[in-house]
Amino acid sequence: MNRFEFLRPTTIAEAVAAGARPGAAYHAAGTNLLDLMKGGVMRPGTLVDVGRLPGLDRIEHAADGGVRIGALVRNADLAHDPGFAARFPAVAEALLSGASAQLRNAATVGGNLLQRTRCGYFYDLASACNKRTPGAGCDARGGENRLHAVLGWSEACIATHPSDFCVPLAALDAVVEIIGRDGAREVPLADFHRLPGEAPERETVLAPGDLVVAVRLPAEAAGFAAHARYLKVRERTSYAFAVVSAAAALRLEDGRIAAARIALGGVALKPWRARAAEAALVGRAPAEAACREAAALALADAAPSGDNAFKIELARRIVARALLLAAAGTPGRLPALPASPFAALPGAQAHV
Partner 1 sequence: MTLSISLTVNGTVQAVALEDPRVTLLDLLRERLHLTGTKKGCDRGQCGACTVLLDGRRTNACLVLAAAQDGASVTTIEGLAEGGQLHPVQQAFIDHDALQCGFCTPGQIMSAIGLLAEGQAGDDPERVREGMSGNLCRCGAYAGITEAVLDAQARLAAREDAA
Ligand X SMILES: Cc1cc2nc3c(=O)[nH]c(=O)nc-3n(C[C@H](O)[C@H](O)[C@H](O)COP(=O)(O)OP(=O)(O)OC[C@H]3O[C@@H](n4cnc5c(N)ncnc54)[C@H](O)[C@@H]3O)c2cc1C
Chain residues in the site for ligand X (CB under 6 A): 25-33, 35, 50, 71, 98-99, 103, 106-108, 110-112, 114-115, 162-165, 211-212, 241
Q: How many angstroms separate the CA atoms of 338 and 96, rounded?
A: 6
Is residue 67 a contact point for ligand SF4 (CB under 6 A)?
no
Q: How many angstroms separate the CA atoms of 109 and 267, rounded?
A: 21
CB of 143 to ligand SF4, least distance (A): 8
Q: Quick one: which segment of 70-78, 84-92, 100-108, 129-137 binds ligand SF4 (CB under 6 A)?
A: 129-137
The H-or-E segment that residue 230 falls in is strand 228-233
Closer residue to ligand X (CB): 208 or 283: 208
Is residue 10 a contact point for partner 1 (CB under 8 A)?
no
The H-or-E segment that residue 293 falls in is helix 288-298
Please list every residue from 191 through 250 that binds ligand SF4, using CB under 6 A: 200
Task: With beta carbons less than 8 A apart as the criterion, state whether 271 and 166 touch.
Answer: yes
Q: How many angstroms separate the CA atoms of 251 and 244, rounded?
A: 24
Closest CA to 238 of 322, 92, 115, 337: 337
What is the pairing mode between strands 211-217 and 67-70? antiparallel
Q: How many angstroms separate the CA atoms of 125 and 39, rounded?
A: 8
Q: How many angstroms separate the CA atoms of 50 and 106, rounded?
A: 13
CB of 22 to ligand SF4, least distance (A): 23
Q: How many CA atoms lie within 13 A of 150 on its CB side?
A: 26
Please list every residue from 273 through 312 that binds partner 1, using CB under 8 A: none
Q: How many residues bind ligand SF4 (CB under 6 A)?
A: 14
CB of 94 to ligand SF4, least distance (A): 23
Closer residue to partner 1 (CB): 61 or 123: 123
Is residue 33 a contact point for ligand SF4 (CB under 6 A)?
no
Single out the residue of 24, 67, 96, 129 in contact with ligand SF4 (rule: CB under 6 A).
129
Please list every residue from 87 through 126 that binds partner 1, using CB under 8 A: 99-103, 105-106
Single out the residue of 37, 53, 107, 159 in contact with ligand SF4 (rule: CB under 6 A).
159
Is residue 119 a contact point for ligand SF4 (CB under 6 A)?
yes
Q: How many CA atoms lie within 13 A of 17 on its CB side?
A: 8
Q: What angle do CA 336, 346, 266 make, to 5 degrees?
A: 60
Query: x/- contact string, 210-239, with partner 1 (CB under 8 A)?
Result: ---------------------------xxx
How many other β-carbons are positioned within 10 Å of the β-carbon of residue 235?
A: 10
* Residues at the contact surface with ligand SF4, assessed by CB under 6 A: 117, 119, 121-122, 129-131, 138-140, 157-159, 200
